[in-house]
Structures are given as structure tokens and as C-alpha cells.
Amino acid sequence: MTLAALSIAAEDAASVLHAIRRATGISGELKGSRIDLETRAFVFDQLDLVRWDCCVSIAISATTPDQGADRGEHDIHVYSALLEASILPLVPPGGQCAEVVIDDGRYSDQVLGHIRRDIAEMIGPCGLASLADSHRSPGLQLADVIANSFFNRALPSDRQGPIAGIVQPRMDAGRIRMRVIAPLS
């Protein structure tokens, strides 16, 4: 499982997504799993025109539930660990307020409410953690492309090298940090 937390001003995310749609003709939701390498590179090039920072967290394949454990419960624990590992490095130092928007399409309202409360505790009393539909959130759509890029970068395929070539310069420049989550028991 791979998760990307993207720190970007809402107006910059909207501007980047608008430029991508205008250039590519994409009219629906921008999803990393639905774009080709050229479009993926263009997304990163457009991001580079604005101020952004990202932390990608990856749960290695050894992160599997114990025998007899509830797989759904384990998945939620892994997702929570990924969120924490991705978000904390992006929280501004010195008590500045942070706003975290979480994709509401992955789990039930009850589970997402619990995760949102956990995130709100992490970012402090002046922070805001909210849920949003990725169809309506340019930042979540851009984060999806980044997360999908790292997912594909880890898979042996003919896309692995080209995708690594797209993301590595951003990692070298400090725009993207990567964290690997150790196996959870």
C-alpha cells in the first residue's frame, strides 16, 4: 500500500489541475492508474511550477496480518500508519496551523471519522482534519498521481525505470520524501 501526502496551496492545486486538463483533454477525475507516462511527467512538470512538498509512505509487502487476524482491521491499521508517516513530516514546525484533507472514498464513514480524529490529534489544536471527495479535490487528485507513481516505481515492469526517472529528480531536490513502514503485527 502506498500513500502520498501533498502539501500545496488549494489555489495552486486547482491551477495545476486546470493546466493538466487543458493540455491533455482529461475531463473527469485525474487518477494515476489511468494516465500514460507522458501525462504523468507533465503532471510533475506542472507541479514544479508552484510551491509543493510531499511525503510518500510505503507499506512493504511483508506488512500482512497475523494468521486468523481480521484483514480489514489490519488494512485500517496499515492505512493509519501510512497517514501518520506521510503527514507528520509535513506539519509546520512551531505551532503553525495545518489543514489536512483525507480522501473519503476508501473506508466507511465510521472508520474515516476515527482516522480523521487521529489525524486531528497529530496536527494539534489549531489544525483542521477534514474528509473530501477526490472528484472535487484537485490536491487529492495530484496526490493520487504521486502515490501511484511510487506504487509503479516499486513494481518490476517496463514502466518502472521511466517512472523512477520522473520522481527521482524531485526526491533529489527535496520535494518528495519517502518513508517505508516496517511490517505491522
Task: Name which of 69-73, 92-96, 125-129, 156-160 the model is least confident about.
Answer: 69-73
Q: What backbone phi and psi angles, to 5 degrees, belong to 124?
A: 95, 175
- Residue scoring higher pLDDT (94 or 92): 92
160-172 vs 37-47: helix crossing angle, rounded to 10:
10
In the chain, the amino acid numbered 167 is V
- Residue scoring higher pLDDT (78 or 148): 148
Mean pLDDT of 142-168: 95
- Residue scoring higher pLDDT (98 or 139): 139
Confidence band of 115 (pLDDT split at 50, 70, 90): confident
Confidence band of 108 (pLDDT split at 50, 70, 90): confident
Q: What is the pLDDT at residue 117?
A: 81
Q: What is the pLDDT at residue 64?
A: 57
- Residue scoring higher pLDDT (110 or 145): 145
To which residue does cell 496480518 refer? 65
Confidence band of 85 (pLDDT split at 50, 70, 90): very high
Beta carbons within 8 Å of 165's beta carbon, 6+ residues apart: none
Q: Where on the phi/psi map is residue 50: left (φ > 0), alpha (ψ -120 to 50), or beta?
A: beta
Q: What is the pLDDT at residue 172?
A: 98
Distances (CA, A) of 67 to 39, 59, 61, 80: 41, 18, 15, 21
The contacts found for 25-30 with CB under 8 angstroms, 24 or more apart, are 28/135, 29/134, 29/135, 29/141, 30/141, 30/142, 30/144, 30/145
- Distance of alpha carbon 98 from alpha carbon 145, whole angstroms: 22
Q: What is the pLDDT at residue 66?
A: 62
Mean pLDDT of 143-153: 96
Mean pLDDT of 58-76: 68
